[in-house]
Structure 1
Amino acid sequence: MKLLTKTSLIIITISVFIIFASNYMFFHISKMMIKNYVDEELTGQMHNFQNMFSQKGTFDNYIFLNTEVDIKILEKNQPLKPVFIDTVLLKKEQEAYVPYRALRFSLKSPTRTHQITIYKSLVSSDQLVQQITLASIIVVFVFMLLIYTMNQHVFEKVWSVFFRNLSKVESYDIKSKDKLEVEPSEIDEFDKLNRVHQSMVERMQNDYLNLKELTANTSHELQTPLAVIKGKAELLLQSENLQEKELTAINTILETANRLSKLNQSLLMISRIENNQYGEATQINLHQVLTNLIENYNILIDARQFDLKINSSNVCVQMNAVLVEVLISNLIKNAIVHGSENGKIQINLENNQLLICNSGEPLNIPKEQLFKRFVKSSSNKNSSGLGLEIVHKICNYYQIKIDYNYQNELHCFALDFSKIIANC
């Protein structure tokens, strides 16, 4: 939810509550004030009654304006205390009951006691209160609408610099040598946020460059001692009069050095892919790449007596030449290394898709972990556990959809090149 929407909803919710609460209070306070005003009028009329009755001793010739009066003679000659009452009277012209406020009191003559009830209609007063309340609600809602519209306009104007700077931060490439340039703001909080962004980006750039340099230096520095170890081990193997234990130890050293060298190269490649250090993409014919790689792996395929079936057509993509070869090579090598001897390898390249399958036992790891670093589904010493990780990195880099399935005792990797397809 956007900030403007969130704040507007909160303000509207609170405002609606305040409006209804205030109008509820206004309505009842107005009714109470009108009732007090009517009570004062009724009290004044009661005093007029009392004055007239004390002077004349009769109600004759007394004119009642806008007031209904009911006069009764009490059977018990006992005075009543004045009391206000709320009641309704049936109005014949309106054919409905109408609310009234009444004051009941008594006047005593030497011979009898009169009960006087003065009625005052509340219809006009109630209607006035309702109309005022409705009018105030309408005015407040119109005012709220104007405030909301004005708030939208002010929000867009005040936050425009923030959103432009946010867009620059989102699109900024940390690998870029250019400095992050943001627009200055008159608002202190936004200006502080800009400084924090710039400082954070500078630290990230420095960390990135340091890590990039460390990776390159580490890989380079490891190559020399590994080459020395391999060279010395190969020289030792050529020595005469070596015992079987010594030969075994030297072979172990050589194999370990080779694995470490491959591991180093694989980690360096992953780092270079993540850091976008490979050259620009060119048009590559996957059929030619696949044909060349199969020729290179023919010896290994024949050695393990695989039944190889290939169905390939011309499919061209826009990729870096090195990465496309590594991608397909790793998948073929994975099929050879992990495929069962005397089993099948099936390769199908057509309709913008590459399918590589090999026979073998089901996975002993969850399918979700197959492309994770150093996760291996077998104990094969020749596997570094990075081949499929590199495949996954390349696929993510070029938005190639990769899928894995195990069906009919076949492990199948399917690659969809639709997003980077090119005309052959």
Structure 2
Amino acid sequence: MAKKNIKIPLLRKASKSFLWASMLLMVLSTIALFFYVRWLLEKEVEEELFSAEARIESALLAGQHPSSLAPIIEINEVDELKTAFTKDTVIFDPSQDEMELFRELSTYKSINSKSYKISVRVLVVETNQILWAIILSYMVIILLVFVFQFYLNKSNNKKIWNPFFHNLEQMKKFSLLSKEPLQLLDSEILEFSELNKEISQLTGKVRDDYENLKQYTEDVSHELQTPLAIIQAKIENIINGQSLTEIQFNQLASIQKDIQRLTQLNKRLALLTKLENHQFTHRASIDITDLIAQIISNFNEISTISLTFEKASNIMANMDPYLAEILCNNIISNAIKHSSHGKPINIESKNMVLSVYNYGATSIANPQQLFTRFYRENKEFKSTGLGLAIVKKICDLYGYDITYAYINGHHCFSIDFGSTTSTRKLSS
């Protein structure tokens, strides 16, 4: 199963990147500052040690003998000269009554024919305190700067991107049925301004193409009705008015059926177009159970298949009465067409759900395509393949759920008239 990508708002993404980059820079700069300041302090301490040693050497050269001040200064005569060195040492400080860390410089000098070991020490505890004081001060300052920059950057980004978000909301509200142009917010940002221009041109072209296609579909549907009716009438006149051979009669009857199918196809395509264009805006409270009972009564008069209706509760729907009748007619006629061996069809209404059961030897091979236009599971049935597609469009229009299941040797189509949480708003 593919991992679902989590979508992050633009401003949050930009702020998150700024946050991580700033934190990384703050940590790295703090570490660099720590080692740099410590190196400066150690260098300063050693310069102080070398300076004190130089003053002592000058005093010895001048014949003066500076007195030792342990543990700060120690001057001792030695037998041999060695290499100068520096080191850290811990010495007991009686003034503080504790061990203290000192930085020590030990040099060996030959002065006035005598060899001396000069040791100079500096207390370094205070330098560590200064170091940490500098680091903490720096962290507080950089943190304050970071917080200020973060909110300033967020506020500035929000202001810059405001036209984009406004125009995005306008795009979400875009409707082909509305004649009003999009109210896009102009921006001083060149790319946003170009985007606005492209959006305006694109939506204008889409509206024009939609209107042209809509007009073309309506014109074709309207113009086809008259010639189809004329052809149908002429064929009926030929069948009724002349003596025909059996072959001619069968051919004309076949042509007549094809014309009837073409007429029905034309009407259903026109209906689908109107549904997609949201042209059915009238609504009324419809008792679906009463409508089903009337349709069943009509079908029982002309169909050899028995239809039974079990009404556990009434189903009330707020929809166009014409569409309600088409919805119920199509779902029942579909069951009649595909009921095997003339087995009875059972219809139930319960808890705002209308269910239609018809017998079938096997389940449908491609249930996911049932509501697709022109799909026919069995090619032997010469139907338009639009009945269930129209049912699905009507359900989608009002937010009703329609489902298919194969239960105990029966095909079951269920329409939930109570699932209106996703109802679409009809555009005026």
TM-score, normalization: structure 1? 0.88
Distance in 2 (CA, whole Å) between partners of 1:217 and 1:91 is 108
Aligned ranges 1:323-334 → 2 under 5 Å: 323-334=323-334
Contact 1:400 1:417 in 2 (8 A): yes
Distance in 1 (CA, whole Å) between partners of 2:87 and 2:366 is 81
Report the alpha carbon displacement of residue 241 of structure 1 after superposing the two structures with TM. 4.6
Deviation digits for residues 205-228 of structure 1, max 9, x if unmatched? 111111111111222233233334
Report the alpha carbon displacement of residue 98 of structure 1 after superposing the two structures with TM. 4.7
Partner residue, 1:379:
379
Partner residue, 1:197:
199
Distance in 2 (CA, whole Å) between partners of 1:105 and 1:150 is 57
Aligned ranges 1:222-301 → 2 under 5 Å: 222-238=224-240, 240-301=242-303
Distance in 2 (CA, whole Å) between partners of 1:96 and 1:381 is 105
- 1:129 is aligned to 2:120: no
Contact 2:346 2:357 in 1 (8 A): yes
Report the alpha carbon displacement of residue 92 of structure 1 after superposing the two structures with TM. 5.5
Distance in 1 (CA, whole Å) between partners of 2:277 and 2:357 is 31
CA separation of 1:86 and 1:384: change in aligned 2, threshold 3 A:
farther
- 1:308 is aligned to 2:308: yes
Contact 1:287 1:312 in 2 (8 A): no
Partner residue, 1:89:
90
Distance in 1 (CA, whole Å) between partners of 2:61 and 2:394 is 112
- Sequence identity (%): 28
Give the partner amino acid of 1:150. L
Deviation digits for residues 7-66 of structure 1, max 9, x if unmatched? 11111111111122222222212122222222221111121222222233745x3557xx
Q: Select between 403-412 and 243-252 the one with higher mean Cα deviation.
A: 243-252
Partner residue, 2:26:
19
Report the alpha carbon displacement of residue 365 of structure 1 after superposing the two structures with TM. 1.8
Distance in 2 (CA, whole Å) between partners of 1:313 and 1:23 is 74
Partner residue, 2:42:
35
Contact 2:314 2:352 in 1 (8 A): no
CA separation of 1:389 and 1:210: change in aligned 2, threshold 3 A:
same
Deviation digits for residues 218-258 of structure 1, max 9, x if unmatched? 22233233334333333333354533333332222222222
Partner residue, 1:415:
415
How many pairs align? Answer: 413
Distance in 2 (CA, whole Å) between partners of 1:361 and 1:134 is 81
| Structure 2 spans left out of the alignment, 5+ residues | 1-7, 422-428
| Structure 1 spans left out of the alignment, 5+ residues | none
Report the alpha carbon displacement of residue 380 of structure 1 after superposing the two structures with TM. 3.7
Q: Select between 49-58 and 316-325 the one with higher mean Cα deviation.
A: 49-58
Partner residue, 1:3:
10
- 1:149 is aligned to 2:151: yes
Report the alpha carbon displacement of residue 156 of structure 1 after superposing the two structures with TM. 4.1
Contact 1:346 1:357 in 2 (8 A): yes
Give the partner amino acid of 1:367. P
- 1:393 is aligned to 2:397: no
Contact 1:86 1:99 in 2 (8 A): no
Give the partner amino acid of 1:368. Q
- 1:345 is aligned to 2:345: yes
Contact 2:18 2:150 in 1 (8 A): no
Deviation digits for residues 320-347 of structure 1, max 9, x if unmatched? 1111111111110011000123312111
Contact 2:75 2:118 in 1 (8 A): yes
Q: CA RMSD in A?
A: 2.7
Contact 1:402 1:415 in 2 (8 A): yes
Distance in 1 (CA, whole Å) between partners of 2:227 and 2:128 is 100
Contact 1:300 1:336 in 2 (8 A): no
Contact 2:68 2:75 in 1 (8 A): no
3-state DSSP of counterpart to 1:106: strand
3-state DSSP of counterpart to 2:208: helix
CA separation of 1:362 and 1:70: change in aligned 2, threshold 3 A:
farther
TM-score, normalization: structure 2? 0.87
Give the partner amino acid of 1:298. N
